Chains A and B, each alone.
Chain A
Amino acid sequence: MKGSIRRLVASGLAVGALTTGLITTLPAATATAGAATPSVATWAEAPQTPPNYIFPFMGLQYFSVSNINNFQFLMYRPLYWFGNGSTPNLDPALSLANQPSYSNGSKTVTVSLKNYKWSNGESVTATDVMFWMNMLHAEKANWADYSQGALPDNIKSITVNSPTKVTFNLTAPVNSYWFTYNELSQITPMPLAWDVTATGAAAGSGGCAKAAYGTVDTQCTAVYTFLSKQAGFDPSNPKGANNALPTYATNPLWQVVDGPWKLSVFDASGNVTMVPNKTYSGPTKPTISKFVEVPFTTDSAEFNALVSGSVDVGYLPTSDVTSSTSNPTTAGSNNPRLESSYSMSPLYTWSINYFPYNFNSTGDGGAAGPIFKQLYFRQAFQTLVDQPLYNQKIFKGYGIPTYGPVPVYPQNSFVSSYEKKNPYTYNVSNAKKLLSSHGWTVVPGGTSYCKNPGTGKGQCGAGIQKNAKLSFNLEYATGSSATTQLMNAEKSSWGQAGINVNLSGASFNTVLGNAVPCTSGQSCSWELENWGAGWVFAPDYYPTGEAIFQTGAGSNSGSYSSKQNDTNIAATTSKNTSLANYENYLTQQLPVVYQPNAVTSLTEIKKGLTGVTPQSPLWSINPENWRF
Chain B
Amino acid sequence: MTTPIDPFEAEPLQGAVPSADEMVEVFDKEATAGEVMASGGFLRNMVRVFGENKLAVISLIFLIFVVLFCFVGPHLYHTNQTNAQQALQSSTPDNGPPSRANPLGTDPSGFDILGRLMYGGQISLIVGFAAAIVATVVGVIYGALSGFFGGAFDSLLMRFVDIGLSIPILLLLIALVAIYKPNAAMLIFVIAAVSWLVPARLIRAEALSLRNREYVQAVRVMGGSRSRIIGRHIIPNSVGTIVVFATFNVADSILLLASLGFLGFGVPAPQTDWGSMLSVAVNSAANGYWWQIYPVGILIVLVVVALNYIGDALRDSLEVRLQSR
Q: Considering only CB atoms, which chain A residue lies closest to B88 in the complex?
A: A393
Contact assessment for A394 and B268 in the assembled complex, using a CB-CB cutoff below 8 Å: no
Contact assessment for A478 and B264 in the assembled complex, using a CB-CB cutoff below 8 Å: yes
Contact assessment for A478 and B88 in the assembled complex, using a CB-CB cutoff below 8 Å: no
- Asked whether any CB of chain B lies closer than 8 Å to the CB of A319, the reply is yes
- Asked whether any CB of chain A lies closer than 8 Å to the CB of B34, the reply is no
Which candidate, A53-61, A416-424, A498-506, is the interface stretch facing chain B?
A498-506
Option from B87, B94, B181, B280 in Cβ contact (under 8 Å) with A505: B181
Alpha-carbon distance A481/B88, docked complex (angstroms): 15
- Asked whether any CB of chain B lies closer than 8 Å to the CB of A52, the reply is no
* A543-573 vs B, Cβ < 8 Å mask (1 yes, 0 no): 0000000000000000000000000000000
Given contacts A386-B85, A481-B108, contact A337 B286 (CB under 8 A): yes
Of residues 292 through 342 on chain A, the ones whose CB sits less than 8 Å from some CB of chain B are: 300, 303, 319-320, 322, 337
- Asked whether any CB of chain A lies closer than 8 Å to the CB of B12, the reply is no
Contact assessment for B269 and A485 in the assembled complex, using a CB-CB cutoff below 8 Å: yes
Which candidate, A160-168, A459-467, A489-497, is the interface stretch facing chain B?
A489-497
What residues of A have a CB within 8 angstroms of the CB of B178 in the complex? 507
What residues of B have a CB within 8 angstroms of the CB of A393 in the complex? 88, 94, 110
- Asked whether any CB of chain A lies closer than 8 Å to the CB of B98, the reply is no
Given contacts A393-B94, A485-B269, contact A320 B84 (CB under 8 A): no
Contact assessment for B284 and A319 in the assembled complex, using a CB-CB cutoff below 8 Å: yes
- Asked whether any CB of chain B lies closer than 8 Å to the CB of A488, the reply is yes
- Asked whether any CB of chain B lies closer than 8 Å to the CB of A479, the reply is yes
Of residues 268 through 298 on chain B, the ones whose CB sits less than 8 Å from some CB of chain A are: 268-270, 280, 283-284, 286-287
Option from A322, A488, A496, A506 in Cβ contact (under 8 Å) with B84: A488
- Asked whether any CB of chain A lies closer than 8 Å to the CB of B182, the reply is yes
Contact assessment for B287 and A479 in the assembled complex, using a CB-CB cutoff below 8 Å: no
Contact assessment for B268 and A492 in the assembled complex, using a CB-CB cutoff below 8 Å: no
Alpha-carbon distance A344/B264, docked complex (angstroms): 28
What residues of B have a CB within 8 angstroms of the CB of A481 in the complex? 108, 280, 283
* B257-274 vs A, Cβ < 8 Å mask (1 yes, 0 no): 000000010001110000
Alpha-carbon distance A322/B270, docked complex (angstroms): 23
Contact assessment for A504 and B84 in the assembled complex, using a CB-CB cutoff below 8 Å: no
- Asked whether any CB of chain A lies closer than 8 Å to the CB of B166, the reply is no
Interface of B is mostly: loop
Option from A319, A484, A493, A503 in Cβ contact (under 8 Å) with B85: A493
Contact assessment for A492 and B86 in the assembled complex, using a CB-CB cutoff below 8 Å: yes
A179 to chain B, nearest CB (A): 42
A17 to chain B, nearest CB (A): 25
What residues of B have a CB within 8 angstroms of the CB of A485 in the complex? 84, 108-109, 269
Give the number of chain A interface residues (Cβ < 8 Å): 31
- Asked whether any CB of chain B lies closer than 8 Å to the CB of A13, the reply is no
Alpha-carbon distance A468/B89, docked complex (angstroms): 31
Q: Considering only CB atoms, which chain B residue lies closest to A494 in the complex?
A: B85
Contact assessment for A505 and B83 in the assembled complex, using a CB-CB cutoff below 8 Å: no
Contact assessment for B85 and A492 in the assembled complex, using a CB-CB cutoff below 8 Å: yes
- Asked whether any CB of chain B lies closer than 8 Å to the CB of A93, the reply is no
What residues of B have a CB within 8 angstroms of the CB of A449 in the complex? none
Number of A-B contacts (CB under 8 A): 59
- Asked whether any CB of chain B lies closer than 8 Å to the CB of A440, the reply is no
Contact assessment for A491 and B287 in the assembled complex, using a CB-CB cutoff below 8 Å: no
- Asked whether any CB of chain B lies closer than 8 Å to the CB of A409, the reply is no
Contact assessment for B287 and A505 in the assembled complex, using a CB-CB cutoff below 8 Å: no
- Asked whether any CB of chain B lies closer than 8 Å to the CB of A389, the reply is yes
B94 to chain A, nearest CB (A): 7
In this complex, the interface size class of chain B, counting residues with CB under 8 Å from chain A, is 20 to 34
Q: Considering only CB atoms, which chain A residue lies closest to B95 in the complex?
A: A322
Option from B85, B87, B183, B286 in Cβ contact (under 8 Å) with A504: B183
What residues of A have a CB within 8 angstroms of the CB of B84 in the complex? 485, 488-489, 491-492
Given contacts A481-B108, A504-B183, A505-B182, contact A389 B284 (CB under 8 A): no
What residues of A have a CB within 8 angstroms of the CB of B283 in the complex? 300, 319-320, 481
Of residues 2 through 46 on chain B, the ones whose CB sits less than 8 Å from some CB of chain A are: none
Option from A300, A488, A493, A496 in Cβ contact (under 8 Å) with B269: A488
Given contacts A393-B94, A489-B84, A489-B85, contact A484 B269 (CB under 8 A): yes
Contact assessment for A488 and B270 in the assembled complex, using a CB-CB cutoff below 8 Å: yes
What residues of B have a CB within 8 angstroms of the CB of A490 in the complex? 85
Alpha-carbon distance A481/B109, docked complex (angstroms): 10
Contact assessment for A389 and B89 in the assembled complex, using a CB-CB cutoff below 8 Å: yes
Contact assessment for A478 and B268 in the assembled complex, using a CB-CB cutoff below 8 Å: yes
B171 to chain A, nearest CB (A): 16
Contact assessment for B284 and A503 in the assembled complex, using a CB-CB cutoff below 8 Å: no
A298 to chain B, nearest CB (A): 11
- Asked whether any CB of chain B lies closer than 8 Å to the CB of A355, the reply is no
What residues of B have a CB within 8 angstroms of the CB of A319 in the complex? 283-284
- Asked whether any CB of chain B lies closer than 8 Å to the CB of A390, the reply is yes
What residues of A have a CB within 8 angstroms of the CB of B110 in the complex? 393
Q: Considering only CB atoms, which chain A residue lies closest to B86 in the complex?
A: A492
Alpha-carbon distance A487/B85, docked complex (angstroms): 10
Option from A322, A386, A489, A493 in Cβ contact (under 8 Å) with B287: A322
Given contacts A390-B88, A489-B84, contact A504 B108 (CB under 8 A): no
Given contacts A389-B89, A393-B94, A485-B109, contact A504 B264 (CB under 8 A): no
Of residues 450 through 489 on chain A, the ones whose CB sits less than 8 Å from some CB of chain B are: 475, 478-479, 481, 484-485, 487-489
A272 to chain B, nearest CB (A): 28
Of residues 174 through 225 on chain B, the ones whose CB sits less than 8 Å from some CB of chain A are: 178, 181-183
Contact assessment for A504 and B83 in the assembled complex, using a CB-CB cutoff below 8 Å: no
Contact assessment for A320 and B287 in the assembled complex, using a CB-CB cutoff below 8 Å: yes
Alpha-carbon distance A503/B286, docked complex (angstroms): 31
A115 to chain B, nearest CB (A): 52
Alpha-carbon distance A492/B109, docked complex (angstroms): 13
What residues of B have a CB within 8 angstroms of the CB of A475 in the complex? 181
Contact assessment for A503 and B268 in the assembled complex, using a CB-CB cutoff below 8 Å: yes
What residues of A have a CB within 8 angstroms of the CB of B183 in the complex? 504
A474 to chain B, nearest CB (A): 11
Contact assessment for A479 and B286 in the assembled complex, using a CB-CB cutoff below 8 Å: no
What residues of A have a CB within 8 angstroms of the CB of B88 in the complex? 389-390, 393-394, 489
Alpha-carbon distance A479/B266, docked complex (angstroms): 11
What residues of A have a CB within 8 angstroms of the CB of B268 in the complex? 478, 484, 503-505
- The 4 tightest CB contacts between A and B, nearest first, are A492-B85, A319-B283, A488-B84, A489-B84
